[in-house]
Structure 1
Amino acid sequence: MIARLGSLMRQWTFVVPLLAIILLIFTWGRDLPGGVVAVVTVVLAGSVLAAVHHAEVVAHRVGEPFGSLVLAVAVTIIEVALIVTLMIDGGDKSSSLARDTVFAAVMITCNGIVGLCLLVGSLRHGTAVFNPEGTGAALATVATLATLSLVLPTFTTSKPGPEFSGVQLAFAAVSSLVLYGLFVATQTVRHRDYFLPITHAGEVITADDHADAPSSRTAFLSLGLLGLALVGVVGLAKGVSPTIESGVEGAGLPQAVVGVIIALLVLLPETIAALRAARRDRVQTSLNLALGSAMASIGLTIPAVALASIWLSGPLVLGLSSTHMVLLALTVVVSSLTVVPGRATPLQGGVHLVLFAAYLVLAMNP
């Protein structure tokens, strides 16, 4: 038993999530000096890699598209907790944090992750192939959720500024949950085959043949460690957020950059998992992760902040600026043209990456 425990402890993917939780307990709610911030950053990076490992173990056990759903939902639930916590602590200056973080998640997933995966998959395997029926359904849901939750508040007139009235916010929250629930049912029950990876000949890949599936015990252990790793990632990200905010302020950058950095940190596990899938010619899995994360980010965050707004005293700004609406509209159009053929070349990947780069440049220099 002791030898077995020692062997287990030597596996860093088991040790790092526990270390992250311990470090989180000792640093939560405290001002961190520079040396501690450096240690937290290292453990944060290790937690990201450990989360990816355990997510892949769980995904291999349960198969697609359930594996992508597990990681997307787990990351988003903890991301929502982080957003609400920061909004409670931040007061009026965090009134647009939910909007900034959710929109950043949409641009990172739909342009950054999608662009990288299409580029990697097409360069490595000639073309990146995927199922346009499932991917198109996911894209349509993301576009609808983003428009209802982030575009309409700019044009409604019940309240001044880019805010929803109480009734409008309640409608957006309920609609987000309904659409997300319908999509999950479609993805996992009625039309599961639309979201499975396909070969270049168009045949559905029903099983991953690169290794034997892990046992149920191993999968449950990885599921628990995945949860710990993600709690560590988001909690430690909150711990370094004051350093991020002071750095952003010192550099003279807009406050919205904080939301971008938080979203980048939180979405790192999904980014790495999606890239690994693209390298194995499982681009459909990559798109499931990317679009599923965008959908979960909106579909779970908007209801959560709507509920939190009951006791939050400050305003809840959700409406996008005109610049961001243009980027969102262009993303939807380009993504639609990418999805329709069911295959992509490096050109499509490059177009999405240029859109992502444009978002980053305009976030720092609006």
Structure 2
Amino acid sequence: MKKLACVLALASAFTSVDALAWGGDGHRAVGAIADKLLKGTNAEKQIAALLLPGESLEAIANWPDCVKGTYCGPQSPEMVAYTDANPKHSEYHYTDVPFQLAHYHDGAVGTAEVDIVQTLKQCIAVLQGKTDPALNPHKFTKRQALILLTHMTGDIHQPLHVGAAFVSRDGKFVVPKSHAEVDEAAIFDSRGGNNLLLDDQKLSELSANLIPPGDPKPVKEGVPKALTKPFHSYWDSTTVDYAFRRVRTKTPEQFAQFAIDSKPVIKANTGEPATWPYQWADDALVVSKFAYADVVPGKITPQISKKGETYYTFALEVPANYPVPSSQIAKEQLIKGGYKLAEVLKAIYG
């Protein structure tokens, strides 16, 4: 009963305002789509053996984000054990390949040994039952591998989790040839778009004329309204909100049913499942080019972090109709993520 209570508490935590601010609904939608597609399959049975009572792919989809802090409530012993064993876990969620490029290559600019492609590849190997230690350097359990695969298949279909922007001092997107060129003097790392700042009021005015209205958002007392929104945050959460509104859905479950009913045509992956994260990354690079289309960096501003370190942000201008194509991309990528999650689990379990 204690396990079930924890599961239910975790699931309910995802409906909180704080959770919505970091894209919880998007990840749950990906998991919910896969849950529906796997009904009646052997994969569903094998997955159930790794889940706790009351859990589903939708319910566990935000677990790897929840371990980063207290978004979902106190850390469970399982979460603490995971973070203790994986001090770089926050780096598993993304890679930073310049968005102008066509392919992800191991060791290239913006990639890392612990990035999302390598982590997904490792999770697939673990779930396939491969025991070579070289294929599982983080010593993931099968349950951890399933949880991470569920979440990060969603992450890798968010274009800014793969396609990264690097900006020159004069405000142009550039492609560094090496890690060393990103020196924060001539070429700046936008940190996955987190250092590219949108005018939040202007964005709200643009969307008011283009996106169906949503439910009023609660106002936190004593917390001033932010004047800017990081471009990454816009893609993590705002585009999901817009996508849900445009198809008249309010919950991940409703969006998942919409996705299934729409009968999307999703191109199948080819080759061994271990290669699929590379294919997903390459697809995300294609999509990231649309995400950055006609987006223009502006004024550079030095900032001081909580640790006292200097970093730089850039004002960002987007086209007047940007909420429409960006939310369309988000809708397509969420659906694709759900279908790809189901596809890889079927490939693993049959």
TM-score, normalised via structure 2 length: 0.23
Give the structure, 1 or 2, with the largest relative contact order (CA under 8 Å, sep 6 or more).
1
More strand by share: 2
TM-score, normalised via structure 1 length: 0.23
